[in-house]
Structure 1
Amino acid sequence: MKEFKSFGAFATHLARLAATSEVVTHHIVDKAAEEIQKTAQGIIGDYQDAVGPYPAWEELAESTQAERSRLGYSENDPGYRDGKMQRSIERTVEGNEAVVGSNDPHLVWFDQGTPHQPPRPVMGPAALHSEGRVKAIIGATAFAWLAGRGWMRPRIKSS
């Protein structure tokens, strides 16, 4: 832990913290959004159990599996074909706000469902599955920043 030899040294440390707070917050938000983005990308193609308010994914219809096979794709990897839908998931960070999402209408239909296809939620479950890792990112980065250590890649040792 950082020790200060005087109140002046402590005040200088606080002034440095204040000067870098926006950069640190932006970094934390970007890393948290990156975690959710990667989780969302990893969900596609694997059946998901219910989580929070989001239902479990239903099995693909036999007709869908047959069509996937005819087109040269694996029969039972819901939402996954050539990786395009996964790659469409992006993150945008401005200041201390982030958005993780996709402009691919196929992912919107996949996530929300259509009259002919049940919903197979991706974005909401990704946020819920990422919660613990996001909290760890926030905690480790904030602790390292407040302690005056390297907050860009925090390494916290337990004592």
Structure 2
Amino acid sequence: MKELDGFLAAALQFAALEVTLHKRLADGLENVAESIAQTAKDEIGFYQPAVGPFQDWAPLAESTEEDKARKGFPLEAPLLRTGEFRDTWEHEISGFEAVVGSKDKRAPWFEFGTVNMPPRPVLGPAVIHNERTIRRILGRAAVTGITEGTAIHSVMGYDRQI
């Protein structure tokens, strides 16, 4: 416990806490966005089960598999031909906002499906798969930012490091 000597010391302490909290939360948000983007990349090429409100990925059409075989692409690997789509997943952070996604023009077609193709959602499931990680990272960032790294009893589920 830190003892404060007067109002000026208290004001300075609170200002320092605000800076620390913002830094910890920004770092935590970066880690969360990176984790979601990586999970999205990892889903490409593998049939995904249903999760949350998202249905499982339907098998590829026989004609699609035949076309992939003719062209030498991996079979039974949905959304994966060259790896280009997988490699477009990225994240950007601005203040306390994170954007995770793909700039590939086909991403919305894959995510939501088309008249001729069932949806194979990537982003929504990636967020759901990271729910515990998101809570842990941002919770820890908030607690350590507020407490300036002071030890919190382990029963609370937080440690001193972010």
TM-score normalised according to structure 1 size: 0.84
Q: Which moved more, 1:21-30 or 1:137-146?
A: 21-30
Q: What is aligned with 2:59?
A: 59
Quick one: distance in 2 between partners of 1:58 and 1:115?
14
CA deviations on 1:68-108 (whole Å, 9 max, x unpaired) are 11111111010112221111111121111111111212222
Q: What is aligned with 1:103?
A: 103
Quick one: distance in 1 between partners of 2:135 and 2:71?
42
Moved over 6 A (4+): none
Quick one: distance in 2 between partners of 1:139 and 1:68?
44
Aligned counterparts, 1:43-58, within 5 A: 43-58=43-58
SS in 2 for 1:101: strand
Is the contact made by 1:22 and 1:95 (CA closer than 8 Å) also made in structure 2?
no
Is the contact made by 1:36 and 1:130 (CA closer than 8 Å) also made in structure 2?
yes
- The Cα shift of 1:139 comes to 1.6
Is the contact made by 1:112 and 1:119 (CA closer than 8 Å) also made in structure 2?
yes
- The Cα shift of 1:25 comes to 2.7
Give percent identity, aligned residues only. 37
Q: What is aligned with 1:37?
A: 37
Does the C-alpha gap of structure 1 residues 96 and 45 become closer, same or farther in structure 2, counting only changes over 3 Å?
A: same
Q: What is aligned with 2:128?
A: 128
Quick one: distance in 2 between partners of 1:34 and 1:108?
20
Q: Which moved more, 1:88-97 or 1:101-110?
A: 101-110
Where does the alignment leave 5 or more consecutive residues of structure 2 unmatched?
151-157
Check if 1:4 corresponds to 2:2.
yes
Q: What is aligned with 1:114?
A: 114
Quick one: distance in 1 between partners of 2:122 and 2:76?
17
Quick one: distance in 2 between partners of 1:6 and 1:111?
54
Is the contact made by 1:36 and 1:100 (CA closer than 8 Å) also made in structure 2?
yes
- The Cα shift of 1:20 comes to 3.4
Quick one: distance in 2 between partners of 1:19 and 1:74?
49
CA deviations on 1:99-155 (whole Å, 9 max, x unpaired) are 1111212222111112211110111111111111111111222222223239xxxx8
- The Cα shift of 1:57 comes to 0.5
Q: What is aligned with 2:25?
A: 25
Quick one: distance in 1 between partners of 2:82 and 2:10?
55
- The Cα shift of 1:156 comes to 1.7
